Each structure stands twice: as structure tokens, then as C-alpha cells.
Amino acid sequence: MILLIVGLLLFLGLHSVRLLAPAWRERWIARHGMGQFRVLYSVVSLLSFALVVYGYGLSRGAPAFLYVPPLWTRHLAILLTWLAFVLVAAGYAPANALRARLGHPIYAGVKVWAFAHLLANGRTSDVLLFGGFLLWAIAGFAIRRRQDRAAHLVPAPATVRGNVGALVGGTLLWALFAWWLHPLLIGVSPLRF
């Protein structure tokens, strides 16, 4: 469990620098260059993510349950993770309604993804992993929205192309992950009960 916690603290902490210490980040980049920042950021991200994955995998060997969710929460989680993938895709698609409305649909997608997994999983390691991502996404979404308002940023108006791109792209990625990658990488098929 310690490796999971350390990995989460490093991974989420690193991904919070831009939110919590933007001036420090800019000074570091000015002093060392964007290239060095990207390399260091990537290395620490990958190492901390590996710690999260390894720590989470170890915790599955001796699970401690905080709660046992009913079967219907798995069905709801499938629907919510589809929505999460669409939200994340909206963050990368050209101007679309979700980005225009939310400003930061990727944070919203992570929130929905984490909440869905908390509904369907009740082990201590699940609560740490998904609860950590949920808290990070809630804080990140609020901070970025506040920064946008302070800077008077207005998202671009939605286009049909952007809306279709977010919906189709998110749905295809969700299907790929649910049917193939989740069983392959996680060892659990979310579509089998």
C-alpha cells in the first residue's frame, strides 16, 4: 500500500504544479528550458505512474474491503465511464459544446471516471487510487475555472464537427478500453458480471 500512496503523491503532486505553483514552474522553465522541463516531467510522470500501477497490483493480492458495492453499481459505472471518455475526448476535440460549457472537460472526465470506479469498487486500495484522482480533479477543475474567470477567458463556441468528434472519439476510445484494454492491462473485464 505504501508504494501506491507514494506513487499517487508523486503523480498527482507533479500534475498539480501548474495549478498550485505556476510562477515557480515558469521560473524553472525560464532557467532550465522547456525541453529539460518536459524530459524531467515525463520521467517523473512515468516513474510515479509505474509506482501507482505496481502498488495497486500488489494491493490486489491481499484486498481489504471498506465496503462491498451492489452489482447494479457496476452497470452504472459502465455508463459513467463512457461519459468520462466522451468528456476527455472533448478536451482534445476542436470547439465543442462540452468544452464551451465546462471549460475543462478533461478534469470533469477524470472526476466522473474516478467516481464511477468508487461506486463499483470498495477495497482500500480502490478508495485511495480513485479517491485521490477524484479529489485532484475536483480541485483542478475549480482552480482552472477560477483562473479562466480571472483571465476573462471565454471558450470558443461549439461546432458540429467538434461535437461529433468528442462524441464519436470518446465512444470509440471507451469501447476499445472496455472491450480490450481494460481486461488486458487491468486483468478485469468491466463488461462481464
pTM as predicted? 0.91
- Which carries the bigger pLDDT value, residue 133 or residue 62? 133
**Alpha-helix runs per DSSP H in the chain:** 2-14, 17-20, 22-32, 34-59, 72-92, 97-102, 105-120, 124-150, 160-176
Q: How confident is the model at residue 147 (pLDDT cuts 50, 70, 90)?
A: very high
Quick one: 47 and 76 in the same domain? no
Average pLDDT of the segment spanning 94-119: 96
Quick one: 102 and 148 in the same domain? yes
| Mean of pLDDT over the chain | 94
Quick one: 10 and 79 in the same domain? no
Quick one: 9 and 96 in the same domain? no
- What pLDDT is attached to residue 193? 60
pLDDT digits (tens, 9 = 90+) for 11-64: 999 999 999 999 999 999 999 999 999 999 999 999 999 999 999 999 988 889
Q: CA nearest 18: which of 184, 143, 178? A: 143
Quick one: 89 and 170 in the same domain? yes
* Residue after which a domain boundary falls, among 37, 62, 87: 62
Q: How many domains does the chain have?
A: 2
Quick one: 30 and 103 in the same domain? no
CA distance 142 to 77: 24
Q: How confident is the model at residue 191 (pLDDT cuts 50, 70, 90)?
A: confident
Average pLDDT of the segment spanning 152-172: 95
Partner residues linked to 163 by β-bridges: none
Provide the domain limits for residue 54. Answer: 1-62
Quick one: 123 and 175 in the same domain? yes
Quick one: 19 and 44 in the same domain? yes
Quick one: 86 and 176 in the same domain? yes
- What pLDDT is attached to residue 61? 85
pLDDT digits (tens, 9 = 90+) for 62-101: 889 999 999 999 999 999 999 999 999 999 999 999 999 9
Share of the chain above pLDDT 70, in %: 99
Quick one: 98 and 58 in the same domain? no
- What pLDDT is attached to residue 192? 78
Q: Which residue has cell 484486498?
A: 63
